[in-house]
Amino acid sequence: MKILILGANGMLTPYVTHALEKEHELRITDISDLSGDKEYKNHEVLQVDITNLEEVMSASAGMDAIINLAVVRHDLKMAFNVNSIGCYNMMVAAQTHNIKRVINTGPHWVVSGQSYEKYDFDIHPDIPTHSGTGLYAITKSSGQEICRIFAENHNMYVINLLFCHLRAPFEPRMAVRPDDFWPFSVAKNDAGTSFLSAINVDFKKLASSCESFFITASLPHNQYSNTKAKEILNWHPSNNFEKYWKRSAKN
Amino acid sequence: MKIFLTNSQSSLIQTTEQWLGRIHSVGMVNDFLQEENQSKILMKNADVVIHSLSDDTETGIKNKLEESMEQTYTLLSLCIEMGIKRFLFLGTLDVLNAYDPDYIVDEMWKPKPTTEMKLLTNHMAEFVCKEFGREHHIDIRVLRLGEICWENQSPSNSPLFVIDALQAIQRAVEIDLPSPSYIPNVPNTWNIFHIQSLTANMRFKISKAEDELGYTPQKVEL
């Protein structure tokens, strides 16, 4: 399959490309120039601004699937342009080029914002979306809503992979206490394989044309559920961070 | 009351400004993002903001999307910062057009926008508004308007004569909505109202606006 990756200059992309490159042909793009990046020397690399419809249209030509990793978290104008309007551009390009499979990404707040996060357990990705008004969450949630509307109206499929903490296996997290642990965490290599699962999943297994999945390790906290990702995508995380929540695994 | 309106190039907004201006203090700008400083002056001590999206067909897609999401978000954030208590968004009943025309559709039906720009942008503006309403910091009222009619007759299946639109907007500006009796201490900060003129066998129910806003539209013979 020929796969376009948008917004590739982030921490997740090396893990995504590693998971996909054996079986698929990748076109790596970002607003910054990644052509000299050794990580991507075996792939086609293009400079593409996701906020520019013509550039996204051009980069999408001949592709079978699109993965959107683009994100801006703090700048108001850029957050709307990249996280929301960027999704519009991606979906118009997918529609134009008859690309049926789109993998969009975002934080779990796209679905389960503060009104869930601080209060609830057994949270799964099919709950009604409550992003809240935080800039990062609402712009990403708006982007996902645009994707959903395109998918429902134009015979396309959008798979939303939602993340929170992305961790290298033994990476100390940005926290007051290095052994603190957030119960929505996934190892970066496991995050990478979730994209392979999303690329491979049969559309017949999806309940609708736009489905969301929580990509988190299998954790006993009972706050966020990855069951749907395991059952539908056949994605199984290898690192469940036992040393952070199991006394016998600590040493 | 002091009222601030966006989208001043719209004929409906210009008429609204004249209508409300008879009894209220009204200021307006066309594009809030382009005229932010002037807007802040006009919004100072305002009681109500009335927001709507441009129907200018010359505006580019990116600007339309920015207006719908970024402008709505920024405007709502500023309203909260400035202590403005009430926010009206004038949307469209067209976000429900995808349902079978035989269905009788009220505010409890999920919007079904297409990717056509007017529908998509109105839906996305509502989407942004809803998250603010959920957080209870400002009283948000969405008036989903029928097709505005400037003549005495209309072929539309959801006609809204200007005089009825003005009445609905005025009532939504002025009327306090109590919290439901079963949750008396929770602010009533999110309401949608379907607004059209009365026709025979109506597709869109307006009983919520009639009951809660006291909206009394004209009867239209189609």
Two tokens, residue A84: 């929301």
**Record: contact B74-A76, CB cut-off 8 A:** yes
Mutate to test the interface with A, among B63, B131, B136 (most CBs of A within 10 A): B131
- pLDDT number for residue B33: 86
pTM over the 0.90 mark: yes
Domain CATH number, residue A131: 3.40.50.720
Helix or strand or coil: residue B116?
Answer: coil
> What is the average pLDDT across B19-28?
97
If one counts the domains in chain A, the total is 1
Q: Which range of residues forms the domain containing residue A125? A: 2-249
- pLDDT number for residue A74: 92
Most distant CA pair in chain A, distance: 55
- pLDDT number for residue A13: 96
B165 pLDDT above the threshold of 90: yes
Indicate the helix (H) or strand (E) that contains B80: helix B72-82
B98 pLDDT above the threshold of 80: yes
Place of tokens 């593409």: A48
B184 pLDDT above the threshold of 70: yes
Measuring CA to CA, how many Å separate B10 from each of B7, B17, B28, B104, B196? 6, 11, 11, 30, 19
DSSP per position, A163-202:
ESEEE-TTPPPSSSSTT---SSEEEHHHHHHHHHHHHH--
A116 Cβ under 8 Å from any chain B Cβ = no
- pLDDT number for residue B105: 97
Q: Which residues contact A105 (CB under 8 A, 6 or more apart)?
A: A12, A67, A68, A69, A71, A160, A161, A162, A163
B153 pLDDT above the threshold of 80: no
Cα dihedral A29, A31, A33, A34, rounded to 10, equals -40
**Record: contact A77-B70, CB cut-off 8 A:** yes
Q: Which residues contact A134 (CB under 8 A, 6 or more apart)?
A: A109, A113, A114
Domains and CATH numbers, chain B: 2-213 (3.40.50.720)
> What is the average pLDDT across B24-53?
95
Side chain identity at A215, as an amino acid letter?
I
Q: How far is B99 from chain A (nearest CA, A)?
A: 13
Angle at B52 between CA B168 and CA B95, to 5 degrees: 80
* Cα–Cα dist B126/B90, whole Å: 9
Mutate to test the interface with A, among B72, B115, B116, B132 (most CBs of A within 10 A): B115
pLDDT lower than 70: segments of chain A: 168-179
